[in-house]
Amino acid sequence: MPQQSTIEQIKRQLQVAKKVAIIGHQNPDGDALGALLAFYEILKFWQKESIVFCTTPASQTFEFLTNYNQLVHDPLVFSEQEFDTIIVLDSGTLAYAGIDQILADLSYKPTIINIDHHQSNDFYGQINFINTKASSTCEIVFELARQWQVPINKDMATALLNGIVTDTSGLTNPATTDRSLLIAGLLMKYGANFKKISAYNVRTKEPKMLKIWGLAMQRIVYDPQLHSITTFLTLTDFANLQVDENKLEGLSNFLSGLKDVNFTLLLTEKEGCLIKGSFRTIHDHIDVGALAQKLGGGGHQKAAGFVIKGKLVYNDGEIMVIQN
């Protein structure tokens, strides 16, 4: 682990903290939620008062995780209570976590600890611990718990393994390393419930998920020069099929693994005339993180995203973004 002094600095800050908010990014995925709930266990071990917060709810896919119902969504909690320390997990920017304005409006100034594995992280904390070699933020939290000699109970182990499994697409995508596999094995020894993780993440797919995937596949536009795939889904699609964006989990990774495809771009409409873009690649010579950064986003070399204003229009096999 890099920055040993930073690890000790984080520990010192948390040991003197009176009240801590642990924050994940909007629409938390398995890694963000797993890291949140595992850190909640760390602070509970140290007998620290804390909350776990996201501006939006987590998918019910993860309701099997202990303390799933502890997640707070109301930003009023930051004006009703005073937090001397805020830990932000798995978020490259405060805006991505949806708390930039919340923090700007506070009458007090908490110490911000920024823990992440994304290359595009903009080091917004007073204390920043960024390990881009880690497969997931859960992998980083595991290493911190071990270094701090915090016992890893079954609940923490399950939350951490869930994060590693989801961020590596079941330990199969390019983010997977020998370290990831070793840590996954150790978490199993600590009592992680891999059976539940597998059941909820893999075996709870609904038929309507296949419909939304099928719709995206019907609209694939292949660029023979770039060897790229682009496809899209609109708000109307989600409404008509009565599914949410969480049903797209795994689609980008599936498309990026197709033959003769260098990278993929999945565009989805969001409320407020916004478009979310998700880049994926499995190739070492392509950096989709750099592409996302040019569009105001970020991420990793092989998985990245961005958000822009506009609406999607599909005409004669072309996907266009219309900006007002």
**pLDDT beyond 70 at 204:** no
| Count of CB atoms situated within 10 Å of the CB of 11 | 16
Mean pLDDT score of the chain: 91
Is residue 176 a contact partner of residue 183, using CB atoms and an 8 Å limit?
A: no
The rounded distance, in Å, linking the Cα atoms of 165 and 250 is: 12
pTM, entire model: 0.81
User: Which pLDDT band holds residue 1 (cuts at 50, 70, 90)?
Assistant: very low
The radius of gyration of the chain's CA atoms, rounded to the nearest angstrom, is: 20
Residue found under tokens 């079954």: 154
Is residue 145 a contact partner of residue 152, using CB atoms and an 8 Å limit?
A: yes
- Tokens standing for 217? 């596949």
Q: What contacts 245, CB < 8 A, 6 or more positions away?
A: 27, 238, 268, 276
**Domains contained in the chain, CATH given:** 4-201 (3.90.1640.10), 207-322 (3.10.310.30)
Per-residue pLDDT of 291-322, as tens digits, reads: 998 998 887 788 888 989 988 888 777 788 88
Compare 229 and 243 and report the one with higher pLDDT. Answer: 229
Per-residue pLDDT of 265-275, as tens digits, reads: 999 998 888 99
Question: By three-state DSSP, how is residue 268 classified?
Answer: strand
